Structure 1
Amino acid sequence: MRFLILAVIQVALVLLSLGQDLNEIAPWLLGINFTSAFFSINFTLFGYQLSRYKPILDRPSQRQWINIYLLMTMPFVPLICFLISPDVYAHLALWLLPIIVWASFDNAKLTISYLDPMRYAKKIFTEANIRKYNDKLYAAVSKEVEAHEKYIANRNRFQIPAHEWSFSPDTLGVTEGDLWDKAIVIAKQALSNNDYPVFMESIEVMVPLATASYSLESHSKNDYREIGGVASITHKRFRGLINWITQEDKEGAYIEALTNRLCALLRTPEVVSDPLGKMTENIMSDVTYLGSVMLTSKQCGAPMKVLNAIHSVLELAVHQIEEDSVNGKDRTLDRWNIAGYAHLIKSLGIDAIHSGDDHFVYRCMETLSYLGCNAAKIGSRQTVVASFQCLVQLGRKSRKEGRGCFWTRCIIPLHKHAEEFMGHILTWLIRDLADDGSFTLKACVEQAYSRIRGFKCEIQPKPNLNPAFWIHEIEQGDSPVKIAHIETLCGMHGYNGSVDYSDHEDETEYTLMDFD
């Protein structure tokens, strides 16, 4: 439309000026042409210098260069024409005036447009550009894979380090047009400018970029290293940004905003459908790290959304795995892997203990209890064992730090609450009580109680009573002295290690075993 308006004005000026004597206003026309041109160029540069988001534009665009060339050359055209044909130079100066004015306004508009981070993000982070970027990244990683294979093939010539057999990419992006660079620049500038809408927009454009990288489809039969390399680069770039935000955000608002967005991402169908995929694993790691920062820095409130998001992923995954197992699908390895997510809750609880947030410690214990109860209902043994181990460790840590209950109406210490939550899980396990007093995971549960109390314990079920079981601490014969619970691990060449759980200063964590 603007080109049509320019054409109409141009034609009108040409028709109206034909046959007119413009020599009297020729100096004025030349002056306004030069003034408009050079002031436009200066204002364009000033607009760039004064912009809060100038790092996103590293050079003038091709269209801006065309306008600058026009503005620098067109005012001189009438002067050159004066040397050739003095009769028409004034008309030419008038005819060029609309073009110069149009180029001036267009340059100003382009500068504003290119330095608008919202428009910039929507223009750059399109689905096609993301696909092209991932293809470039895949090609770069593929070259490194080939070099790594050649390196491994030369093992007869030199000794290869023990941990260099597995592949890890060296590159963290592409040389030109790296989308992670562009997104991170916008996010950093937004935080520095305290511009919340732009910051959230930068996170929004990173979500499809990360999702596309994590879900990159295979290009060939054995390209698992290339696929894993692209996912690794994505995680490193995003974690680097997260680390920078946690250091620069002194108020905590942007940390909490980023955490909330990632927690929402954990509830999307792409994540829920593949709880053990790279994308879910990395996002769970990132939100746990952010939750830890929120607890230790005390810049934000307790990360309840992080706790709920992790719990949600765990619950849905455990139920899906057990349902698949009932339908005949072997997911034994997945049972072990998904149980590892329970330790993320434990790590948050330990950070809460260090920061003195007794309420959040209690909520972590409560979540582990809820998780263990549901796992016991559907027979997910590995998740039950992981819940017990995490509760034991949180209880031992709380006892060493002398943490009490957060509620002023309760004087029960936190490590006793950990036992209470372990008992909730146990009530579901003893429902399949055998005639000889055994039940599911009996030895494992007794070991867990022995660890948290520090003395050897045994579970004594009491059918038809409330409570339905007693925790009995074993004594040394007729002596009232209780037997300390000590676990020892022996190596094949005589070396060994041990943990004395009766020593409440010792926080050593040892994997809880499923003895059944």
Structure 2
Amino acid sequence: MRYIILLIVLSLLLFGSMNSDVQKITPWLLGANFTIAIFSINFTFFGYQLSKYKAIYSEISKRQWANIVALLSLPFAPLISYLVIPDYFGIIALLILPVLVFSAIDNASLTDKYISPKFFIDKISRKKVIDRYLIQLSRELEKEVEKHKSYTKDREKYQIPAHGYSFEPTTLGLENEDIWDSITVVVNLSIENNDYPVFRKSLSSVLNTVVAFYSFKTEVDDGCRIDDGVKFIARNRLRSIITNVIEKDKSRMFLQTLSSEFCSFLMKENVINDPCSDLTRSIVSDCIWIGKKCLNHIVLLSQQKY
């Protein structure tokens, strides 16, 4: 739709300039073009620098690169065209103006969207993203399972203890674009910025991810070990997030919210109907651990008071 609007604006400008002497305002057009390009890039950069959530902005998108290239190159197009077709010098400068305005607005809106924590949470919490992540993670775990099997089969070479036969993955995520790393960053930033709405939204994303991990089933050989490895990763990464909340939340407001969200999750019908599931037992264990930390904090405050 936006490209149609841009095309209409260009057509109207071209039609309106047919009977006008555009050459008279060419210096003004050149100045406007360069001003828009320079200020657009500067304001976009300042917006990124001033954002409280700039840590989630890991790379510039292809569309932003296209806007940046347009903003840096198009203002010079009229000057180059003057050497080739000087009669159309003013018209080209006029037509480039709305293109630069469009690129500037689009670049600013993209930057604002990409540094928005809510957009970032929605992006990494989509079912398609989580499913793709789980497939990639299961492939990595499958390799580890094969190594573990070869290790346990060679009894003559290794003196294997009893606990050595149980499989626990050495990896806790993927090297690139790890969902747990992204969620942890948002949770930590929301606490640092005292951003309660973003914190609650990030907790919802955490719980949805945990449910997806515990619901994951693979059909390959030794699928049970891979599924257990996926659950092991979810359990440890969730405990890591809880630990970060406990360490960073000095007021204990976010910790209270965390425990409330977990308790609300345990009151869901599907959880109540399956109280012995791995997911339920894991969340209950974390709730007890959070309660213990809260009690320790209360005891510490009472000791400081008296």
Scaled by the length of structure 1, the TM-score of the pair is 0.57
Residue 87 of structure 2 aligns to a residue whose secondary structure is coil
Return the alpha-carbon distance in structure 1 between the equivalents of residues 278 and 112 of structure 2: 39
Task: Provide the rounded CA distance (Å) in 2 between the counterparts of 1:226 and 1:294.
Answer: 34
Partner of 2:293: 293
Letter in 2 for 1:156: E
The residue that corresponds to 1:234 in the other structure is 234
Quote the Cα distance in structure 1 between the aligned partners of 2:161 and 2:38: 63
CA contact (8 A) 1:295 1:355 kept: no
Q: CA deviation at 1:162?
A: 4.3
1:246 matched residue in structure 2: 246
Identity %: 39
In 1, the alpha carbon distance for the partners of 2:220 and 2:61 equals 38
Structure 1 segment 422-501 matched on structure 2, within 5 A? none
The CA deviation at 1:19 is 4.1
The whole-number CA distance in structure 1 between the counterparts of 2:163 and 2:153 is 15
Distance in 1 separating the partners of 2:249 and 2:295: 14
Are the counterparts in 1 of residues 33 and 100 from structure 2 also a CA contact under 8 Å?
Answer: yes
Structure 1 stretch 122-131 or stretch 251-260: which is displaced more?
Answer: 122-131
Instruction: State the aligned residue count.
Output: 303
Question: Matches of 1:218 and 1:134 in 2, distance apart?
Answer: 10
What is residue 57 of structure 1 aligned with on the other side?
Answer: 57
Shift of 1:132: 1.2
Q: Cα gap change, 1:162/1:140 in structure 2, threshold over 3 Å: closer, same or farther?
A: same
Is the contact made by 1:186 and 1:202 (CA closer than 8 Å) also made in structure 2? yes
Match of 1:45 in 2: 45
User: What does residue range 11-410 of structure 1 map to in structure 2 within 5 Å?
Assistant: 11-220=11-220, 222-298=222-298
1:44 alignment partner AA? T
Which of these two proteins has the greater Rg computed from alpha carbons?
1
Distance 1:108 1:230 in 2: 39
For residues 255 and 152 of structure 2, the distance between their equivalents in structure 1, rounded to whole angstroms, comes to 42
Q: How far does residue 60 in structure 1 lie from its aligned partner after superposition?
A: 1.2
Q: Once the two structures are superposed, what CA deviation does each residue of 1:404-438 show, in whole Å capped at 9, x if it has no partner?
A: xxxxxxxxxxxxxxxxxxxxxxxxxxxxxxxxxxx
Deviation beyond 6 Å, 4+ runs, structure 1: 354-357
Kindly indicate whether the alpha-carbon contact (under 8 Å) linking 2:217 and 2:223 is maintained by their aligned counterparts in 1.
no
Whole-Å Cα distance in 2 between the matches of residues 187 and 196 of structure 1? 10
Alpha-carbon distance between aligned partners in 2 of 1:273 and 1:227, rounded to the nearest angstrom: 22
Mapped partners of 1:232, 1:270: distance in 2: 21
Q: Distance in 1 between matches of 2:55 and 2:114?
A: 11
Can you list the C-alpha shifts for 1:244-279, whole angstroms capped at 9, x where unaligned? 111111111000000000011111233223222211
- Secondary structure of the residue that 1:156 maps to in structure 2? coil
31-40 vs 19-28, greater mean Cα deviation? 19-28
1:33 CA displacement: 0.6
What CA distance in whole angstroms lies between the structure 1 residues aligned with 2:278 and 2:228? 8
Q: CA RMSD in A?
A: 1.8
Aligned residue number for residue 456 of structure 1:
none
- Report the Cα distance in structure 2 between the residues aligned to 1:153 and 1:229, rounded to whole angstroms: 20
Q: Please give the secondary structure, in 1, of the residue aligned with 2:217.
A: coil
What is the one-letter code of the residue matched to 1:87? D
Do 1:275 and 1:281's aligned partners in 2 also have CA atoms closer than 8 Å? yes
Distance in 1 (CA, whole Å) between partners of 2:301 and 2:83 is 82
1:380-406 C-alpha deviation (Å, 9 max, x unpaired):
xxxxxxxxxxxxxxxxxxxxxxxxxxx
Amino acid at match of 1:99: V
Once residues 249 and 355 of structure 1 are traced to their aligned partners in structure 2, the CA distance between those partners, rounded to angstroms, is 15
What letter is aligned with 2:75?
A: P
How many Å separate the matches in 2 of 1:52 and 1:206? 21
Displacement of 1:40 = 0.6
Task: For residue 355 of structure 1, report the CA deviation from its aligned partner.
Answer: 8.9
AA aligned to 1:105 is I
| SS of residue matched to 2:171 | coil
Q: In structure 2, do the counterparts of structure 1 residues 66 and 175 end up closer, same or farther at CA, with 3 Å as the change threshold?
A: same
Taking the aligned partners of 1:261 and 1:223, their CA distance within structure 2 comes to: 31
Amino acid at match of 1:278: D
Higher relative helix content: 2
After TM superposition, the score normalised by the length of structure 2 is: 0.94
